[in-house]
């Protein structure tokens, strides 16, 4: 399949790397000449910096930019790619953001967290596809199957619920790890000592109902420990951590009193 990618950030980088192994990456389009060229060199593609340069003789164009930029991008490129299937990779953007401008549109969303420093296990990364036309759904399904063994045809509403859930499961949980590190750093304690606990917690949550796996002083209603922890955070003069601790403890307690 001949594919062009719009964007040169983390998602674009990982898509370019994995797709170039099985498909032809034709162009990398970015407003940054340097970023476009760096990514193009990685997958032997042409680097371009304006929509007028887009090659319309491709099978698919992937928009891998920030959510707030997707509408602007589709409005800029639509006229240059009238018959090309164009997809975005966002979990939180409705298909209609593209379809209202470009009828031949779809979604190709990987449920994964992307960092330049880490490899992606594409085979086990869920890929969610959506398109208005059956022919386009088939094309996206074939492409997704070339990358992952977990491919799903989900509506925009289903995908949006997954994205919201992912914020809780990934972004918020990672911030909890960040807060935990701040607590132990204050006493020069090695944060890596928490690694086995963190890994076991994630394992239990993915193999069981997380509600049933909840442990800790809030779940038990242990007011003495809860008060002691609050006092420790107050002594550290960390009102921010204290507020988060109190809110989460209250919610856990309420959840397990039902």
For 34-68, what is each residue's pLDDT tens digit? 999 999 999 999 999 999 999 999 999 999 999 99
Check pLDDT > 80 for residue 258: no
**Number of residues assigned to the chain:** 258
Residues of the chain with pLDDT > 90, as a percent, come to 97
Can you tell me the distance from the alpha carbon of 26 to that of 23, in angstroms, rounded to the nearest whole number?
A: 9
CA Rg, the chain, in Å? 22
Predicted pLDDT of residue 257: 84
Predicted pLDDT of residue 134: 95
Q: Which pairing describes strands 105-110 and 127-131: parallel, antiparallel, or unpaired?
A: antiparallel
- Contacts with 219 (C-beta within 8 Å, 6 or more apart), sequence order: 252, 253, 256
Contact between 70 and 98 (Cβ < 8 Å)? yes
Check pLDDT > 70 for residue 21: yes
Contact between 5 and 16 (Cβ < 8 Å)? yes
- Classify residue 86 by burial, with Cβ atoms within 10 Å: 0-12, 13-18, 19+: buried
- Classify residue 64 by burial, with Cβ atoms within 10 Å: 0-12, 13-18, 19+: buried
Domains of the chain: 2-154 (3.40.50.720), 160-255 (1.10.1040.20)
Check pLDDT > 70 for residue 89: yes
Phi and psi for 28 in degrees, rounded to 5? -120, 120
Predicted pLDDT of residue 137: 97
- Contacts with 165 (C-beta within 8 Å, 6 or more apart), sequence order: none
Q: Other CB atoms closer than 10 Å to residue 159's CB: what's the count?
A: 23
At 117, is the pLDDT very low, low, confident or very high (cuts 50, 70, 90)? Answer: confident
Does the reported pTM lie above 0.75?
Answer: yes
End-to-end CA distance of the chain, in Å? 53
Closest among 92, 114, 148 to 12, alpha carbons compared: 114
**Residues 220-224: what's their mean pLDDT?**
94
């Amino acid at each position: 399949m001949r594919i062009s990618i719009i964007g040169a950030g983390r998602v674009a980088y990982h898509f370019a790397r994995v797709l170039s192994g099985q498909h032809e990456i034709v162009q990398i389009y970015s407003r940054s000449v340097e970023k476009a060229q760096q990514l193009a060199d990685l997958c032997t593609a042409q680097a371009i910096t304006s929509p007028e340069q887009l090659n319309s003789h491709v099978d698919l164009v992937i928009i891998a930019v920030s959510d707030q930029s997707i509408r602007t991008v589709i409005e800029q490129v639509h006229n240059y790619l009238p018959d090309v299937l164009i997809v975005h990779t966002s979990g939180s953007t409705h298909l209609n953001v593209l379809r209202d401008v470009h009828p031949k549109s779809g979604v190709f969303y990987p449920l994964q967290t992307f960092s330049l420093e880490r490899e992606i296990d594409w085979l086990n990364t869920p890929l969610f596809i959506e398109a208005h036309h059956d022919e386009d759904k088939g094309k996206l399904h074939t492409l997704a199957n070339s990358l992952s063994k977990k491919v799903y045809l989900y509506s925009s509403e289903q995908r949006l619920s997954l994205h919201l859930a992912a914020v809780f499961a990934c972004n918020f949980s990672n911030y909890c790890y960040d807060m935990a590190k701040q607590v132990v750093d204050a006493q020069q304690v090695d944060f890596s000592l928490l690694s086995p606990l963190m890994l076991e917690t994630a394992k239990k949550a993915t193999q069981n109902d997380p509600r049933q796996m909840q442990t800790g002083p809030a779940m038990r209603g242990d007011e003495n420990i809860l008060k002691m922890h609050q006092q420790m955070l107050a002594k550290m003069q960390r009102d921010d951590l204290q507020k988060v601790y109190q809110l989460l403890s209250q919610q856990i307690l309420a959840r397990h009193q039902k």
